[in-house]
Amino acid sequence: GGVGGRGFVFPGSVIGTNNPVNLSVHSTGLWDGCKNIESDRVCSLGLAGMCATTEEPGASISVKSCEWFKPGYDFNLIRVFHEISDETFSISLEQYDDQYEVYIDSVLGFTQYYLSRPIDSVKFRVIKTDSSQNKFVLHGISLETTDPGVIYHASGVNGAKAGSFLRCCLLEKHVYALQPDWIIISFGTNDAYMSNFDRTVFAYDLSHLIDKVRKAAPDIPILLTTPGDSYRGKSPNKNMIQATKVIYDVARLKKTAVWDLFEVMGGFGSVNNWNEFDLMAADRLHFSRKGYVLLGDLLFNAFLKSYDRFIDAKGREIKD
């Protein structure tokens, strides 16, 4: 119980990057990728920060929930985010013979399928229905259920900074379409990795990213997380101290919450302690799988403790 669907994902292997760990992705046809870290390219991007384009009618993408991953995911409500215009191909749902309803939202840019039963894999095929159509551009897929529970939407691009997502012109539309109840924004590691880290630029980019998100979800609480302690090259990166201070400054300005991973880890130099317990990758910049699982547990426990305090405070207000 409590699993409301896998949520928003991007099938990264279609364009030569990594997929979410709990999804298996296959594709046919030629696909060209574009990412928000490629500042020299002009492409239409959204929440995923990347897109996949094909000019081949008949090209396909299939996504399957990995059986070994627990909890397993199935879905009966699928939204495919893609460009919709007179010049773009349409899509069809393959390998599913049961009844389903189709809804196309040309304003927010998605095709939705509501299935008669839950499934754990889905395949879409690009179809050309008019001579004016010449391409298909995928922005992401949301795999959901109509059951109650938590839906976890996630996006991220390897090497992306806060400013990278300012290039995503469709971000507001996609956030609005997903209607989140809570938004977590995590930047700083890539922003402060270089020796010439500019605090002013980072503060500007993070502040304006929050503004973009709030245009789509003005009343939704936002949590900022600080980067953890990490290495740059062969020594701990002192810029993470400054990046954490910037995030606190922005949080005060924009009235968001903060989860201080830098402090939770133990502060500057603590990455070496984490490395001793096999919680870091060899570069001491990324975490190991074991480390990422621990981070998820720590953040979840911090949320539960804060929520308990909130409930207790509300209870005292009622008694008073």
DSSP annotation string for 170-231: THHHHHHHH--S-EEEE--TTTT-STT--HHHHHHHHHHHHHHHHHH-TTS-EEEEPPPP-E
* Cis peptide upstream of residue 71 (ω within 30 degrees of 0): yes
Q: Which amino acid is at 276?
A: E
Contact 231, 283 (CB under 8 A): yes
| Helical pair 239-254 and 199-216, crossing angle rounded to 10 deg | 40
Q: What is the pLDDT along the chain (320 residues), one digit of tens a residue?
A: 677 889 999 999 999 999 888 899 999 999 999 999 998 998 999 999 999 999 999 999 999 998 777 777 889 999 999 999 999 999 999 988 888 999 999 999 999 999 999 999 999 999 999 999 999 999 999 999 988 888 999 999 999 999 999 999 999 999 999 999 999 999 999 999 999 999 999 999 999 999 999 999 999 999 999 999 999 999 999 999 999 999 999 999 999 999 999 999 999 999 999 999 999 999 999 999 999 999 999 999 999 999 999 998 877 777 76
3-state secondary structure of 238: coil
Closest CA to 65 of 11, 110, 101: 11
d(Cα 132, Cα 127) in Å, to the nearest integer?
13
pTM above 0.85, yes or no: yes
Sign of CA dihedral 299, 304, 305, 311: positive
Kindly compute the dihedral angle of the four CA atoms of residues 156, 157, 159, 161, in this order, to the nearest 10 degrees: -60
Backbone torsions φ then ψ of 185, nearest 5 degrees: -115, 120
Number of helical (H) and strand (E) elements in the chain, helices listed first: 6, 16
At residue 97, the 3 state secondary structure works out as coil
> Residue 65 pairs with which residues in a beta bridge?
23
**pLDDT at 320 (0 to 100):** 67
